[in-house]
Structures are given as C-alpha cells and as structure tokens.
Amino acid sequence: MRSIGTVTIKPTKGCNADCSYCCAPPDRAPKWTIDDFKSVFDALEPRLIPAATLIFRLGEPMLL
C-alpha cells in the first residue's frame, strides 16, 4: 500500500562537525554500503505515493 508522502533523510552519521546541539550526532556505527542504501530504498519505494518527497537535511553541507 502506497501511503508515505514524505521521507526525511538525515545523512549525519558521517558529518565531520561535532555540534553539541546536534539532534542526530555521529556515532560509531559502521557506514552504510551502497547495497545497504539499495536495500532500504527498494523496500521503501513500493510504499511511496507517486509524488513523494525525499528531503535531505542536517549535515550534508559538511560532508567531505
């Protein structure tokens, strides 16, 4: 059933800043592989409505 209209993606685990106020601070979890991303998006896609919005926010300007 397609019912998800908005997905907020926070690519912050690899952010190279260390802000004390961060709501999603980097941790020691291993980075996702391309296959990890593919698995998540393959599972998500059938649940998205046709005009779904994917929003990237937080640490992306700081990523190297």
Under the rule (CB under 6 A), what is the footprint of ligand SF4?
12, 15, 17-19, 22, 25, 58-59, 62
Specify the residue, 9 or 19, whose C-beta has the smaller distance to ligand SF4.
Answer: 19
The neighbouring-strand residues paired with 32 are: none
Specify the residue, 1 or 29, whose C-beta has the smaller distance to ligand SF4.
Answer: 29
Q: In sequence order, what E strands does 11-56 have?
A: 48-56
Specify the residue, 49 or 62, whose C-beta has the smaller distance to ligand SF4.
Answer: 62
Shortest distance in whole angstroms from residue 64 CB to ligand SF4: 12
Q: Which among 56, 44, 39 is positioned nearest to 2, based on CA atoms?
A: 44
Q: Which among 25, 6, 7, 5 is positioned nearest to 15, based on CA atoms?
A: 25
